[in-house]
Each structure stands twice: as structure tokens, then as C-alpha cells.
Chains A and B, each alone.
Chain A
Amino acid sequence: MSHFRVEFRQRAEELIALYPRPRSAMLPLLHLAQEQDGYLSGEAIAEVAELTGTTSADVRGTALFYDMFHLEPVGQYVVAVCTNIACLLAGGVEMLEHASATLGCSVGATSPDGLFTLEESECLADCDVAPCVQVNHRYVRTNTPAAFDALVEDLRAGRRDHDVPHHGTLIRVRRNGGLHAPRTVVAAERLEARAARDARATETK
């Protein structure tokens, strides 16, 4: 029995089909599981293990290598405040403290209403709007305390749902298109091209 719901299971299989080896779909599949559940449950991990041909321990260990995966439930909004060098120089630490006060939770914890989880992050590559804040990996560009508080209000009121989807949803654009040519045909093309190139090479010699 699949832990992925039908639509997600189908997307999982599409993802696996993109790669020469199933295990390559590991990170996309874990993102997918997180999109469905908001975090990585034991069942999801077991299913990803099965899909990628490895064990739960291995999948869990792999997931824990990466910061974006949560093995415990988190808030609907994961708020990341950068305190790395550029943001440090622009008041990132103070912003983090402010966020903690506004959300009513310490760093690494979830707000009492269960809506927000606060994280101190490393550089988020948006250093010209420092200190940088991301919510669910979306740049919200709120680099003043007042802007941050307004954002929190908007999020609570659901006014940012269009550009800040719930935690776990990473890429809302589904892939369509693809090579759509049998690999054998493509391989034959390549062989032909290579032969032509070799012929050109001997010609010029």
C-alpha cells in the first residue's frame, strides 16, 4: 500500500523515469514527500527507500544530510533568517531576535499556534536585500522589523498564499516536455555525429 496518494505516487514515478538510475530521484522524491505531508514521515521514508532501491536507514541518513528536510512536523511556514556574513553586517542577528519575539518561539522551534517554525539559516544568496528572510524558501525581502511584522500578518491572513505556498511545496511548475525519442534513436544520432566528426578530423590532418 502506497503512502503517497495516487497523484503523488504518479508524480514519483514520473520523477524516477527522468533519471538513468532510480536512486537519482532521491532528493526530488523527498521534496515530493514533504510536499504531501509537510515533513518526512517514517512511512514516506520507507516508500522512498523502496522506490529508490535502498533502505529506510539510508534514506533517513541521506535526508538528514540536507537542511531542507524535516523529520518532525514543522509549521505551515518555515521562516529562515540569514545571519551569515553579509546579513550579519546588516543586522541579521537582530532580525532573527526580532522574528523570534514576533513569532513567539525560539530559533529551531515552532510558534505556539503551530503556524511558524523559525530557523537561523546560512547565506540564502540574496545579500543585496540583507538581512535576508525566506519563508518556505521564497524570498520575502522584508529586511526591516516593520516589514517582517507586516509579512507575518499577511501570512496569517492568507494574503500571501499565491507566492508563499505551504511548507514542502517547492516547484509548482510541473515538467512537461522531454526528449520523447527512444534512447536508441538518440544513441544512433550520436554515433553518426561522432563518425562524421572523426571523418572531419582525419580530413584536416
Chain B
Amino acid sequence: MTDVIKSSVTITVNGRAVEARPGELLIEAAERAGTYVPRFCYHPRMEPVGICRMCLVEVDGPRGATLQPACFLKVNDGMNVVTDSEKVKKAQDGVLEFLLANHPLDCPVCDKGGECPLQDQTLAHGSGETRFVEEKRHFVKPVEIGELVLLDRERCIQCARCTRFASDVAGDAQIAFAGRGDLIEVAPSPTQPFDSVFSGNTVQICPVGALTAKPYRFSARPWDLEQVESTCTTCAVGCRVAVQSSGNRLSRVLGVDSDPVNHGWLCDKGRFTLDSVDGNEASSDPLQASTRITEPMVRRDGVLTAVSWGEALAAAARLLRAAAATPNGVGAIGGAALTNEGAFAWERFLRGVLGTDHLDAQYGDGLDAALLQSLPAATIDEAAGAPVVLTLTGDLREELPILFLRLRESAVRYHRDIVELAYGASALRAVARVSLPVRPGETHLLVESLTRADGGVPHESVVHEGDLNAARRLIGETGEGLVVIVGRANLAEDASVIETAIRTIAERLPRAKFLPALRRSNVRGALDMGLSPQLRPGRGYDASSNGRDTLAQLEALRSGEQRALVLLGGGLLGNVLDVAGAREALEAAEVVVVTGHGGASLAYADVVLPAAVQHERTGTVTNIEGRVTAVAAKVVAPGSAWPDVAIAAELAEEFGQHLGLTSVEQAAKALEDATGYPALSALHDATSDGILVGREHDRVARRPLDPMAFPGIRSTETVGLGAHTGATSFVSASAAPAPARALLERVRAGRGANVPLADAYSLRVNLSRRLYDNGIAMQGSPALANLRAVAVLRLNHFDLDRLGVVTGDAVNVVGVRGATRLSVALDDAVPRGTTEVAFGALDAAGDDVLRPILDCRQVVSQVRLETK
């Protein structure tokens, strides 16, 4: 997709002819031509408002040359612009002087001091002394407007960047201008704190120190910070970030403007959970996620005991060798947190050295990896630019927040259509053209009818015929222009329900493209590296494999068929639906855990091998759309933790085998040489937007960093706002034969999904993901600890009325395996006959509430509510 400049106009800037795109903003056209116009309110990722008046330039018009805001004015042919006249200079100096009049000038104690656009402008243009001798405007000094953000109104210059971000970009207008004149202030509602999951972006784009982030406040001075560009692996969107540290301590993560991915934005989880990398120093219990695992350990007399790497590797090898002696005796689960190189190394070890095909990077909470690989793929850009998007996912704001922002922008700013299959609460609902309510276990039925011209309304469905018809019209009959986003909306529903629906869409609408909404960090990369029974490194596929996926391995462990398990990461117990079954399986097995964080799984570990985690290792990762980007180490891993590649390679040595992967670089090279997967290329191009696997590379030229737009980021080549420069093929894809690829017809038919009808007194359960879940990052992050989801049952008002309860009432929740007590809340986004609960939400006692009482073998889980 090359965005060729089709037509252009010529304008004159300071007497020089400049080519510009018709309709382009003058400030942009001038900047590309090398004339930088000063600014404050303008931000390249938001609609201009032209209110600060800093960018005034002289433009010829019918009434002679007048001062016009360059940020708001669109160029047209023949426009004559002067940016350096005395008049312009006086106007701009005047604006700057006005801005400083009420500004407290408390730079020495301000977080922004040293990287402040206002400070920079003042140094560049301002006069040395102030003519303002009056009393300045006073406000109470910083007020906490949310869990993460503080507001100092005295420093505010009323540029409206934060309020516009909140209302226009994020759609959470939880802060807004209040008042008038020079008393105008940014303010939250007294009843609703600023708890948007995007709140940190307002801090990042604030051109002064009015908004500061609580976790970062006073922790560093800009000039002490060192920075690397990297990729966030908190979820699988793969936002580009600038990671900054002061010495060996992580200080801050800022969003880098990657044109194809995040546009400079980050979610608060990605931005603020860096404190989980440091670990909570007071925490030494290996069963806690807040503890960093820094030394190798083996279990001695029932207790995990720190040992040397040599001892630990020997113990692990001994254990695995013994188990591997029986056929199908070993397997591995996890790996989504690894880099591509780490995953590749482990795949080589597991398949090549241990000879097992039982490996799976998902925890039974994802989708059939081979099916996903077989689908025509869409990029994030393609989804955000598609005329119609169909979503079969949970709330994307909670699952993949920046993908949500991109889709929201597509709907709100570019008026494109979103058709949403609505399982429960969803932030996209407000902007979706059509929202079709679906109850657990019905997606495939609804899709069956949605993709047929004469589909009618499925039996027992809660969908309105008019909506269904509208959705059908939007989706079309071939899928042309349609991007389907697919994920696991409901963890208490068997994956086969959505998988069946995906197959139906792929078959009926052959031109549709798919974007998988798998959410766990580098899960896409791990699958691409073959950490799934039928997949092979470099997106290879082998239909003949009979390897076990996660659920099958747990079953085999329980039955004793499989004896040992390598856990790549400590997330199994936190994510698998059947916790009791998983515990039983771990109990029965010999377990080697490779992890950087503590966790409940370590209670079953026989050997623990400490690994470096994000921001401590280099390599590449692959996001949901298959974009390979580099991750960089900013700090040194604590204790004697090693990078994953090294651990796999050294363990192989214990078996007398050389993987030939003695460094990340070698692993990337081996991978690229063998399969063409662009790991080495991406690694060598560490400050770029990466490379899409399997696509002719379309490079976006980055342009010089504008510190006004991205204050705090301090490298010169890190902003990707430039034009597509066309297909610059720079991928050194080797001549390696492309690995076999999964094709839809070759991927085994999905399990049938015949859902029994619910009985009248039971509610089908929708276990949906929350951003602030109970995962390792959240548990390890003091900054976000208070924001973790609490357990409540959300119900439609019909169901509340039927039960005779109101929001806040507690009810008994009876499942197949037991009962618990929870409070209810009204939520009409939840379809009738369904109750929605956040996955992994904890009750007041800190225990996981719902998973223990559900039976995960059912296609749809149900509970009964009792009010007595």
C-alpha cells in the first residue's frame, strides 16, 4: 500500500516555493520544507484547534497579509506565507510573553524542567526579563486528579492538549476545561476521578509540567536519563517506546510515534508497569509475582534453594533426560513472554534436543494457532483504514488498548464503520455503527446467519432483525474491504465457538482479512517460532503433528502419560481456566520453570532458572499483525538472571548438543538464514517501525523528532510521522525456502460446538479480560496495584429485576464445582441471560472468585444465582 502523492500544490514560504499536499496543514508543509513554526497547542496526532496562537504567520489574503495560525490553516495553491517577518516575530514573542505572565517559573522543582517545550521556546525566543510585575494567578498546588496523574494548574498554559486527548482520542472526557478567561482550568469531575486507561498520554503531551505522573514524579532529572528505543511487550500490539533509566534503574517509558502502530500513544499499563521489572525489593517469596527471581534454584527437601547455574542446569537436564526416556514424556507450556530469539532457541531445544512436539505458547485461553496462521492477514493500519471492521473480541480497550484507539479514531475521525459482536461491556460500543448482542455459546450461530444473505435471525437470539440486516449490508457478500478482528471474548466459553465462527467467515467471505486479537506480549512471535504443536519456526506448518496443546498436556500430566514439564514463564496458573486441574497436573509432574518473576507455579517447581525480562534483554518481538521489531535492554538483569537464548543453549550443552546459538544476534541470524523470518534485519534496524513478516516491505520514513510534540524523548530519529516513501525493499530475506504455511482447508476441522440451551434459572457466564487484571505485571507494580479489577457480577436490568436485586446486593453464585458470594451490578451492556465477570478478579479476601467453581470442560459455563 503505497501512499503516492497524487497531486500537489505549490506555496511560497519566505519567498521559497514549496510543494505541499492539497489540504495539508500549513505548519506541516512548512516543517517538511525545513521551516519550523513554533507551537504549543498543535499536536500532529490530534485535530488542530488553533488556540495558543504561537504559530501565527503572515499569509496573504484578500485584505492583504494577515496573521493566521499555521497549525489550523490548510494550504492552497499559490498561498504566500511569511514566517520570519518583524510582525510575525512580534506576535510570537507577544504570545510567549503572555504565556509566561501567569506561569510560576518554578522550573527547578518541576519534573518537566530540562525537557519542557515552554522552557525551550523561552530560551530560543523569549526576552531575558519579564515585564509582568503583577501578582500571578494562584491555584492550590498539585491536586491528584486520578490514581496516576497530578495536576498543577498554575503551570498550565491552556493548550487543551490533555482535554482534547481525553475527549477526542481516548473518548474518556474525564477532564475538561472549566471556567473562563484567565481563570480557566483543567478539571476532573468531583464524582469521577481521571481513571482513563490512557491517562499517562496526557502527561506525555503536556507541553509544561502541569500534568505529572505520580510514579515518575521527582524520581529523576531529564539530563540524568539515558534512553533506548524498544517495543512494549505488556500486550501484543507492540507499541514503540522510549525506555529511560537513571543508572541501572528504570525511570520512565514514553510512547514513540510509530506510524503503523501506536502514533505515540501508550496505555497506562504499558507505561507504568515498569516498576514490576524492578520487582518489589521487600518481596522475597518466590510464590509472589512481585518478587524477581535472581538466582537459579533447585528443590531440596521440599524447599527451593539457591544454587549455582551449573548445578541448576545439571539438575534440570537430569530430570528432563529421565522423563524424555519414556515416549511423550516431556512437554513445554508458555513462551509468550520470550523474545523471538528466545522462543526460537527453546523451540530448537525442545524439538531438537528433547524430541518433543508437545509445546504450546498459549494457555488454552487463545485460539487455534494453525487456524490463525491460515487466515488472510490484515495489519493494524489496514484494520484502522478498512471501510468496515467486524469485531469478535472482548472489550478491546481492556485487551489491546492501542488497537482500540486506532479503531476508535477510524470511526470517530474518519467515519468508518464498525460492526461489533457485543459480548458485554465494550468501549467500542459508543462508536460502532452496529452492535449485535451475543450470549455465550452463540457466536457461531449468529455468524452463520450474518454471513448469509437469507440468514434470518438465529433461533433464541437476542439480536434485532434490523440490526442484523444493517450489519449484513455493511459486511457485504464477499468480504471486500472487511477486516475481522478475532479473539477470545469469553474465557468461560470453549474456543471452538469463535473458531467455528472464524471458519464460517473465512469460507463465506473469501476477501475478508483477519487480525488476531491475541493479547499476551510476544505470543504471536512465540507461535511464529513454532511453540505450538503444528507450527514450526518461521511460520512453518506441519499438519502431521500430534503434539499436545496446553490443555492436553495438563491432562496427560494428570494421567501420568507425560512426566515432566518445562514452564516457559510463570503464567500458567494465573491464566488457565481450570486452576484445580492445572495444580493437580503440576503436582504430578517434574517441573522446570524458566522465569524472571515469582508466581504460584513455583510452588510446584523442581528447578527454577532465572531469566531476564523486558527492558533487560535485546532481541526481536512480533506483534499481532506480524510486525517484527527490536526490543532493547536498558538495564542489566538483577542477580544472575540470563537471557532466554543463553539458558536454552546452555541447557542443550548439558545434553551434549550445540544449538549454535551463543548470542541473540546468532539466534536471529540462524532464524533468518533458515526461514527468511526478518529477525536479524529488525534487530539491526533497532530504531525503526520494524518489518512485517511475509510482506513486501513498505517503509515509512521517519522524520526528525519534534520535541514540542513528544517532549521527553531525546533521540533525533525516533518519530514516524513521515510520508510513506514507497516500497523500499531492504529486507535481506535469504534464499531460504519459505516454510510450509497453514492453509484453511488443511487446518483440522474445529471441534463442533453444540451448545445445550441454558436452563431458565441459570445465567451463562462471560469471563472477560480486564486490562488491570491480576497478571504478573499488575501484581508486581505498586503504581497500579490499586487499580486491579474487583469481582462483581454484571447483569442486565431484566435479570436483576427477575432476581429482585439491585446494584450492590450480594448473591450466592452456585457453579458445578462449588459456590461463592459476590455482589451484583447493573450493566445493560450485558445481554439478557448472561452475567459478566472480570477474569482473574479477586474477591475481598484476595482469592480468585469464579474460576474454582466453574467446569471448564463445558462449552459454556453457567452459574445459578441465589438471593437468600
Q: How many residues of A contact B (CB 8 A)?
A: 14
- A residues in contact with B190, CB < 8 Å: 42, 56, 60
Q: Give bound CA distance, A56 to B180, whole Å.
A: 18
Q: Are A58 and B176 in contact (CB under 8 A)?
A: yes
Kindly provide the distance from the CB of B827 to the nearest chain A CB, expressed in whole angstroms. Answer: 15
Return chain B residues, CB-CB under 8 Å to A42. 189-191
Establish whether residues B179 and A57, one from each chain, have CB atoms under 8 Å apart when the complex forms: no
Question: Pick the contact of A60 from B167, B172, B176 — CB < 8 Å?
Answer: B176
Return the CB mask of B173-184 against A: 1 if under 8 Å, else 0.
Answer: 111111110000
Interface residue count for B (Cβ, 8 Å)? 16
In addition to A55-B173, A57-B189, A57-B192, 7 A-B residue pairs with Cβ atoms within 8 Å of each other are A42-B189, A45-B191, A55-B189, A57-B173, A57-B187, A58-B173, A64-B178
Chain A residues, CB < 8 A from B175: 57
A sample of 10 cross-chain residue pairs with beta-carbon separation below 8 angstroms, ordered by A number, consists of A42-B189, A55-B174, A55-B189, A57-B173, A58-B167, A60-B187, A61-B177, A61-B178, A64-B178, A65-B177
B-facing residues in A34-84 (Cβ within 8 Å): 42, 45-46, 54-62, 64-65
Q: What distance in Å separates the Cβ of A21 from its nearest Cβ neighbour in chain B? A: 15
- Output the nearest chain A residue to B167 by Cβ-Cβ distance: A58
Q: Is B599 an interface residue (CB 8 A)?
A: no
Complex CA distance for A61 and B158, rounded to whole angstroms: 14
Task: Tally A-B pairs: CB < 8 A.
Answer: 48
Could you say which residues of chain A place their CB within 8 Å of the CB of B177?
A: 61, 65
User: Is the pair B173, A65 in contact by a Cβ cutoff of 8 Å?
Assistant: no
A60 to B145, CA, bound (A): 15
Whether the Cβ atoms of B189 and A60 lie closer than 8 Å is: yes
In the bound complex, residues from chain A placing their C-beta under 8 Å from that of B189 are: 42, 45, 55-57, 59-60
State A59–B190 Cα separation when bound (angstroms).
Answer: 11
Residues of B within 8 A of A60 (CB): 176, 178, 187, 189-190
Chain A residue, CB-CB nearest to B183: A64
Q: In the complex, which of the residues A55, A62, A64, A65 contacts B192, with contact meaning CB atoms closer than 8 Å?
A: A55
Nearest CB on B from A72, distance (A): 11
| Minimum distance in angstroms from A157 CB to a CB of chain B | 37
- Residue B296, interface by CB 8 Å: no
B678 within 8 A of A: no
Q: Is B188 on the interface with A (CB-CB < 8 A)?
A: yes
A65–B177 CA distance with the chains assembled, in angstroms: 9
Which residue numbers of B lie inside 8 Å of A, CB to CB?
167, 172-180, 187-192
Report Cα–Cα, A65/B192, bound state, in Å.
19
Tell me if A61 and B187 are in contact (CB < 8 A).
yes
Chain A residues, Cβ within 8 Å of B180: 64-65
How far is A59 from B188 in the complex, measured between Cα atoms in Å?
10
Could you tell me the distance between the alpha carbons of A178 and B582 in the complex, rounded to whole angstroms? 68
B-facing residues in A72-128 (Cβ within 8 Å) = none
Q: Look across to chain A and name the residue whose beta carbon is closest to the beta carbon of B194.
A: A57
Chain A residue numbers with a CB within 8 Å of B179 are: 61, 64-65
Cβ-closest chain B residue relative to A66 = B180
Interchain nearest-CB distance for A70 vs B (Å): 13
Which B residues lie within 8 Å of A57 (CB)? 173-176, 187-189, 192
A34 nearest CB across to chain B (Å): 17
> With a CB–CB cut-off of 8 A, which chain A residues contact B167?
58
Give Cα A46 to B189, complex, Å: 9
Bound: A54/B167 CA distance, A = 10
**Which residues in B have their C-beta under 8 angstroms from that of A45?**
189, 191
In the bound assembly, the distance between CA atoms of A62 and B188 in angstroms comes to: 12
Tell me the bound Cα distance from A162 to B191 in angstroms.
Answer: 37
B181: nearest chain-A partner, CB-CB: A65
Could you say which residues of chain A place their CB within 8 Å of the CB of B187? Answer: 57, 60-61, 64
A77 CB to nearest B CB, Å: 24
The CA of A54 and the CA of B166, in the complex, are separated in Å by 12
Complex Cα spacing A65 to B174, Å: 17
Residue of A nearest to B174 (CB): A57
Q: Please report the C-alpha to C-alpha distance between residue A54 and residue B177 in the assembled complex, in whole angstroms.
A: 14
- In the complex, A60→B189 CA distance in Å? 7
Alpha-carbon distance A60/B176, docked complex (angstroms): 8
Tell me how far the C-beta of B763 lies from the nearest C-beta in chain A, rounded to whole angstroms: 24
Query: What residues of B have a CB within 8 angstroms of the CB of A65 in the complex?
Result: 177-180
Give the shortest distance, in Å, between B815 (CB) and chain A (any CB): 32
Taking a contact as CB atoms under 8 Å apart, the answer to whether A56 and B178 are in contact is no
Tell me, rounded to whole Å, the shortest Cβ–Cβ distance linking B116 to chain A: 26
Contact residues in B for A56 (Cβ distance below 8 Å): 189-192
Report the Cα distance A124→B778, complex, angstroms: 57
Q: With a 10 A CB-CB cut-off, give which of B175, B178, B187 has the most chain A CB atoms.
A: B178
Instruction: Give the docked Cα–Cα distance between A197 and B156 (Å).
Output: 55
Q: Bound complex: CA of A12 vs CA of B176, how far in Å? A: 24
Contacts of B172 in A (CB 8 A): 55
